[in-house]
């Protein structure tokens, strides 16, 4: 194959991923009840001569009207009770300071479990993933969801654009319909290979510890809240102007969730990255295809503000990850994460180990369990 021009690498590098493995409540004081008006005593009837009046009862000195009762000295309002702080994800700076190769689960480990499902993300964590990689886009009713393709054709029993479906319509679909552990994303395998088909719709029992909802399309908020201790590597799908709307929603949700320092945001389109940076300048981002192509082929340094580059091992016959490129990245203060773009030859322990031996800082793996084995010793 002839060596590609810069333009060809740019186009193919952008296309590779789509073909790859893919309150404490405020203290509220109850209003003090007003003491009841003292009752007016009925006139005392004349006593019989032999009758002796009952002595007037004297209130016990310790009695206190209920409406002004004081709390026990040892009582502590529930809302101010001391509790353990909630666990949070390490910041990206803390992650990069760790002396270990990062195991990032690509779409939750799409070669081992159904792409981008809550089930996949949970299994990836069990298998040793330290970061969850995911893609985001919007539904027809404006909800940010975890979804790779712009259609539902590859993972569900339906077809058509994601943007044409509401969240309810999207989540009714079986997001594990086409998953086969033998070949992903093949749709021509024997029916018995689609082992999770029907779990979402109740036709098949879910694995122990999981429910049908773990096999649906998840919202971004659902995943971020379900895995609060894991950093996230988030790719904004698509191009401007639609991707700009996605960037706005993502920036707002990251702020609401308190996740601005524990995520990295990436897009193949540098214009999308620039739009996101304008919205959320404190969130870590990775460069897009244009910047990376000139970095690889022309040796053009990246401008300030980029700490992590995410690249494939090769593209269109050009070796992107080499001892030289890894050394250069480190010399320039960059962290290099690699995403395999050939499932058949690269998504395995042996290849992951080769990348580790080259000195890369992280692998975005379709099989996180095998990546864990590659770094085990």
Per-residue pLDDT of the chain (377 residues; tens, 9 = 90+): 433 333 333 333 344 444 444 433 333 333 333 333 334 334 444 444 344 444 444 344 444 444 444 444 444 444 445 567 778 999 999 999 999 999 999 999 999 999 999 999 999 999 999 999 999 999 999 999 999 999 999 999 999 999 999 999 999 999 999 999 999 889 999 999 999 999 999 999 999 999 999 999 999 999 999 999 999 999 999 999 999 999 999 999 999 999 999 999 999 999 999 999 999 999 999 999 999 999 999 999 999 999 999 999 999 899 999 999 999 999 999 999 999 999 999 999 999 999 999 999 999 999 999 999 999 96
Q: How far apart are CA 374 and CA 371, in angstroms?
A: 5
Instruction: Decide if 351 is inside a domain.
Output: yes
Q: Using alpha carbons only, how large is the chain's radius of gyration in Å? A: 30
Q: How far apart are CA 104 and CA 22, in angstroms?
A: 12
> Does residue 106 contact residue 365 with C-beta atoms inside 8 Å?
yes
Q: How far apart are CA 163 and CA 144, in angstroms?
A: 11
List the domain range (segments joined by +) for residue 268: 87-152+217-374
Instruction: Decide if 116 is inside a domain.
Output: yes
Q: How far apart are CA 292 and CA 320, in angstroms?
A: 10
Quote the number of domains for the chain. 1
Instruction: Decide if 142 is inside a domain.
Output: yes
Secondary structure (3-state) at 151: strand
Instruction: Decide if 170 is inside a domain.
Output: no
> DSSP code of 297?
I
> Does residue 322 contact residue 337 with C-beta atoms inside 8 Å?
no
CA count, 13 A, side-chain hemisphere, 111 = 25
Instruction: Decide if 113 is inside a domain.
Output: yes
CA count, 13 A, side-chain hemisphere, 340 = 31
């Amino acid at each position: 194959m002839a060596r590609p021009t810069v333009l060809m690498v740019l186009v193919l590098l952008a296309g590779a991923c789509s073909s790859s493995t893919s309150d404490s409540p405020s203290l509220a004081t109850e209003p003090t009840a007003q003491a009841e008006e003292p009752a007016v005593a009925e006139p005392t009837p004349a006593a019989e001569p032999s009758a002796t009046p009952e002595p007037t009862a004297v209130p016990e000195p310790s009695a206190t009207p209920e409406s002004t009762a004081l709390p026990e000295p040892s009582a502590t309002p529930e809302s101010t009770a001391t509790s353990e702080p909630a666990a949070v994800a390490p910041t990206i700076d803390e992650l990069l300071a760790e002396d270990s190769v990062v195991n990032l689960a690509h779409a939750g480990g799409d070669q081992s479990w159904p792409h981008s499902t809550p089930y996949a993300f949970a299994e990836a964590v069990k298998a040793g993933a330290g970061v969850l990689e995911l893609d985001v886009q919007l539904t027809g009713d404006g909800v940010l969801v975890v979804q790779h393709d712009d259609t539902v054709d590859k993972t569900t029993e339906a077809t058509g654009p994601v943007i044409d479906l509401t969240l309810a319509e999207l989540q009714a679909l079986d997001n594990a319909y086409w998953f086969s552990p033998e070949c992903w994303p093949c749709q021509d395998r024997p029916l018995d290979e689609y082992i999770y088909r029907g779990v979402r719709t109740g036709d098949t029992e879910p694995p122990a510890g999981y429910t049908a909802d773990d096999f649906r399309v998840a919202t971004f908020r659902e995943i971020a809240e379900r895995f609060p201790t894991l950093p996230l590597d988030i790719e904004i799908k698509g191009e401007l102007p639609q991707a700009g709307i996605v960037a706005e929603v993502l920036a707002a949700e990251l702020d609401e969730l308190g996740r601005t320092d524990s995520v990295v945001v990436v897009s193949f389109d540098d214009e999308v990255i620039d739009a996101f940076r304008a919205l959320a300048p404190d969130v870590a981002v990775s460069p897009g295809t244009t910047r990376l192509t000139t970095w690889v082929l022309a040796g053009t340094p990246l401008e300030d503000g980029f700490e992590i580059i995410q690249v494939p091992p090769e593209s269109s016959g050009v070796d992107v990850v080499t001892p030289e490129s890894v050394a250069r990245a480190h010399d320039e203060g960059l962290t290099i994460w690699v995403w395999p773009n050939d499932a058949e030859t690269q998504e395995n322990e042996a290849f992951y180990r080769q990348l580790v031996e080259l000195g890369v800082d992280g692998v975005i793996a379709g099989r996180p369990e095998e990546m864990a084995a590659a770094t085990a010793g």
